């Protein structure tokens, strides 16, 4: 199965980064245009919490249901696709303090494409280049949100 790994640093304390990632509506904020996110059900981050949403790639809707596990309020969590566009998707978010005011965010995904035409579509939407852009954008928004708010404090 393919593996995607991406890491970035944020000039913010570990607790601030962890709290930022606990927001139920963060997925909308972290999705780059023109990707739109429609939330159907997003439980508060906890063991077995459900996130049910549709990703809109222009006029193409992609429904996704993920369940959260390995939830550590300070160090991260994992979301695993319960149903969605891929044959498998397990995404681990880890937060590590580098020092008192800097945190490393590491995104680690193990995934598998389905077979047939769905697999072709999934390869177009979730290829390594697309994932790299998505997580670059997420890093940019995370830094902009937290580093700006840290300066304002």
Domains and CATH numbers, the chain: 3-24+67-152 (3.30.530.20)
At 153 the pLDDT is: 53
Look up residue 80 and give its DSSP letter: E
Residue given tokens 């570990």 in the structure block: 14
Mean pLDDT of 136-140: 98
Tell me the pLDDT tens digit for each residue of 83-98: 999 999 999 999 999 9
pLDDT over 90 (residue 25): no
Q: What are 47-52's contacts with CB under 8 Å, separation 24+?
A: 47/71, 50/82, 51/27, 51/79
At 150 the pLDDT is: 60
Tell me the pLDDT tens digit for each residue of 97-114: 999 999 999 999 999 999
Q: pLDDT-based confidence at 148, cuts 50/70/90?
A: confident
At 70 the pLDDT is: 98
Q: Length of the chain in residues, anyone?
A: 153
Look up residue 49 and give its DSSP letter: -
| pTM, entire model | 0.93
């Amino acid at each position: 199965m393919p593996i995607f790994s991406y890491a970035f640093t944020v000039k913010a304390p570990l607790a601030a980064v962890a709290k930022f990632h606990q927001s139920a509506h963060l997925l909308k904020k972290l999705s780059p245009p023109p990707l739109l996110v429609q939330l159907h059900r997003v439980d508060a981050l906890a063991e077995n919490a459900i996130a049910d949403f549709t990703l809109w790639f222009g006029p193409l809707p992609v429904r996704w249901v993920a369940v959260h596990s390995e939830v550590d309020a300070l160090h991260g969590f994992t979301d695993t696709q319960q149903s969605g566009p891929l044959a498998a998707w397990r995404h681990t978010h880890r937060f590590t303090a580098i020092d008192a005011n800097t945190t490393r965010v590491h995104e680690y995904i193990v995934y598998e494409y389905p077979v047939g035409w769905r697999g072709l579509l999934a390869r177009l939407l979730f290829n390594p280049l697309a994932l790299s852009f998505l997580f670059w954008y997420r890093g940019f928004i995370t830094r902009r949100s937290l580093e700006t708010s840290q300066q304002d404090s």
